[in-house]
Amino acid sequence: MKFRDLPILKRLIPTIGKRAAPFIWPRGWRVAEYRGALFLVNYFTYLDRRIGFARDWECEQIGYFLNYVSARRPDVFLDIGACGGLYAILVAKSGCCERIIAFEPDPRCRERFLANAHLNNLSGRIEIRAEAVSGQNGTLPFFCETAFAMGKSRVRSNGDLTVRCVRLDDALAELCGKRVAIKIDVEGHEVDVVVGMKSLLTSNTCFLQMECFDDHVHVVNAKLADFGYRLVHEIGPDKYFANDKTI
């Protein structure tokens, strides 16, 4: 066990770090190492504090997903709702996936993603796209959360921004017969995303991690079951689906 992993220190270090951050982080910013990669973090943001202080953001989910990537070595990884690029960068750093494509419509998150890719010498390794993924092509209203919770930005009828949207069956029509790993975190827009990727899901061997809360998880389950997928694991609100019978 590492010294900082002692139970009492795991509680104290984030608290001390949060109080000290205004004095030691210039304008609230610093570069933090998490799971062997570098990320630009800001102490005002909850997710960033979990990466920069506690170093425990989605530890179980990330570990489970990276274990799959390491064991199966997919041809393509799709990060849908990439935020600052945490999953895409960790998958790229693993060296276990040939092609990585990320979708992030919030321009502030995308700028952070580009900075994080640069910090990890991955600027040319990840394809970062500005569209929202949905069940249609065109545009959608998009709500940008405050800078303190940018990971919660989402498609919403009273959005303050209009973003381009794509169906994955059209945007990635060339994918067929591939091994595809997918992470979906779209703050309630999951059903639309799944509807727009039927062909991709049925013509490839796919493994999905999807944040999906109880108010519509049954709809997602039914849609994916129609496409030949079954639920193989759950960690909190994250559900894992596969059409590979060996999983």
* Confidence band of 62 (pLDDT split at 50, 70, 90): very high
Those residues with Cβ within 8 angstroms of residue 130's Cβ, 6 or more apart along the chain or in another chain: 103, 104, 105, 107, 110, 163, 164
pLDDT at position 104 over 70: yes
* Confidence band of 65 (pLDDT split at 50, 70, 90): very high
Query: Which residue type does 161 have?
Result: L
The predicted-structure confidence for 124-175, as pLDDT tens digits, reads as follows 899 999 999 999 999 888 766 655 555 555 566 676 788 899 999 999 999 9
| Structure tokens that stand for 199 in this block | 């062909």
Instruction: Bin 81: left if φ > 0, else alpha if -120 < ψ < 50, else beta.
Output: left
pLDDT at position 231 over 60: yes
Q: How far apart are CA 222 and CA 235, in angstroms?
A: 19
| Structure tokens that stand for 244 in this block | 């590979």
Better-predicted residue by pLDDT, 200 or 244: 200
Q: How far apart are CA 133 and CA 196, in angstroms?
A: 8
User: CA separation (Å) from 43 to 84, 107, 119, 146, 151?
Assistant: 15, 20, 18, 14, 15
pLDDT at position 122 over 90: yes
